[in-house]
Amino acid sequence: MKKRILVTGGAGFVGSHLCDRLVAQGHDVLAVDNFYTGDRSNLAQHLSNPRFEVMRHDVTFPLYVEVDEIYNLACPASPIHYQRDPVQTTKTSVIGAINMLGLAKRLGIPILQASTSEIYGDPDVHPQPEDYRGLVSVSGPRACYDEGKRCAETLFFDYQRRHHVPIRVARIFNTYGPRMNRDDGRVVSNFVVQALRGEPITLYGDGRQTRAFCFVDDLVEGLMRLMNVEGTLDGAVNLGNPTEVTIAEIAHRIIALTGSRSEIVYRPLPQDDPRQRCPDITRAKAMLHWTPKVGLDEGLTRTIAYFEALLSASGSSVTPFEPALPELAKTGS
């Protein structure tokens, strides 16, 4: 069935891939974005399609449109971006959620929230199942994002209980792939760009901290399955690739896959940087019959190809790449 689908944050990394899939299925797609971290160029492939529309709008302001379902992705996602204007980050998560839930309530339509593994903070349970309550700082530099997303989840569950809005809450773990923002300071984009340019790879801390990386196509498949699952859902669902790797290993793999001569340089670990993170995806497997398909080497190879094309299009005259360091990486513990 063809639907009118709203994607907030549609010009961002994940949002633009989601728009690709929804357009390919023949839906009418409305991407709403204030272009804080996203870019219209991520949607260039759809701009002449009459079934696709992009609207510049900030979700902290009310939005009155007529649609059949909502994916609420609007929010800066990389530490360097969400810490740049922390109050705006919290507003986007909390007021944005209230507005999009108000829209879903008025129309009686399903709404999916892009929540995050960051709601588990620096976890002391491993891997993280959905019923783990997390270990989160309320005052640290990551709190604007973590607590904003936690409050957004609370709002989603209250709109479900009080107003019977059909909600879905996806707790997304680290995702990577083409169209990651080159300057967003995330580990995959930083290391790939550094390796391709033969510049030092900036490893924070001793590199023994872990993450589990999901290729963006797998994530988008999981989000769409979650949106389309039948019935009322009780609680959130983790979406991520459960293959856990150290950050040092990511550096070595990227060096090997690019054939780079880059050296590794060590930088201080940012404050509150989680030491270990890996999703327990038992629930997603059972409920959505979903499991990630793209392995790390394949996903990295596709990501490297994207950045190679991007760098060669920007020419050799570009200024040397300055890795995006979070403020606290310069002074942190």
Q: Whole-angstrom Cα distance, residue 150 to residue 134?
A: 10
Nearest to 68 by CA among 15, 1, 168: 1
Q: Whole-angstrom Cα distance, residue 47 to residue 36?
A: 19
CB 304 within 8 A of CB 196: yes
92 binds, among ligand UDP, ligand NAD, none (CB under 5 to 8 A by kind): ligand NAD
| Among 36, 52, 204, 215, contact with ligand UDP (rule: CB under 6 A) | 204
Task: Pick the piece of the chain touching ligand UDP (CB under 6 A) from 19-27, 146-154, 200-208, 292-300.
Answer: 200-208
Q: Among residue numbers 70 through 109, which ones bind ligand UDP (CB under 6 A)?
A: 78-79, 98-99, 102-103, 105-106
Task: Pick the piece of the chain touching ligand UDP (CB under 6 A) from 6-14, 61-69, 221-229, 235-243.
Answer: 61-69
Q: What's the half-sphere exposure (Cβ side, CA atoms, 13 Å) at 244?
A: 13
209 binds, among ligand UDP, ligand NAD, none (CB under 5 to 8 A by kind): ligand UDP
Give me the residues that bind ligand NAD (CB under 6 A), please: 8-9, 11-15, 33-38, 58-60, 73-77, 81, 92, 96, 114, 116, 172, 174-175, 181
Residue 273 contacts ligand UDP per CB under 6 A: yes
What is the number of other CB atoms lying within 10 angstroms of the CB of residue 303? 23
Phi/psi at 135 (nearest 5 deg)? -135, 90
Task: Pick the piece of the chain touching ligand UDP (CB under 6 A) from 17-25, 203-211, 290-298, 306-314.
Answer: 203-211
Q: Is the peptide bond before 200 cis (omega within 30 degrees of 0)?
A: no
**Residue 36 is among the residues annotated as catalytic for this protein:** no
Catalytic pick among 36, 71, 82, 145: 145
| Among 37, 175, 202, 260, contact with ligand UDP (rule: CB under 6 A) | 202
Rounded least distance, CB 174 to ligand NAD, Å: 5
Cα→Cα distances 261→199, 200, 297, 321, 327, Å:
8, 9, 19, 16, 28
What is the number of other CB atoms lying within 10 angstroms of the CB of residue 102? 16
* Complex with ligand NAD: residue 99 or 260, whichever CB lies closer: 99
Phi/psi at 205 (nearest 5 deg)? 70, -150
Rounded least distance, CB 261 to ligand NAD, Å: 28
Q: To which H or E segment does residue 285 belong?
A: helix 282-288
> Catalytic residue numbers?
145
Residues that bind ligand UDP (CB under 6 A): 62-64, 78-79, 98-99, 102-103, 105-106, 174, 185-187, 190, 202-204, 209, 211, 247, 269-270, 273, 323
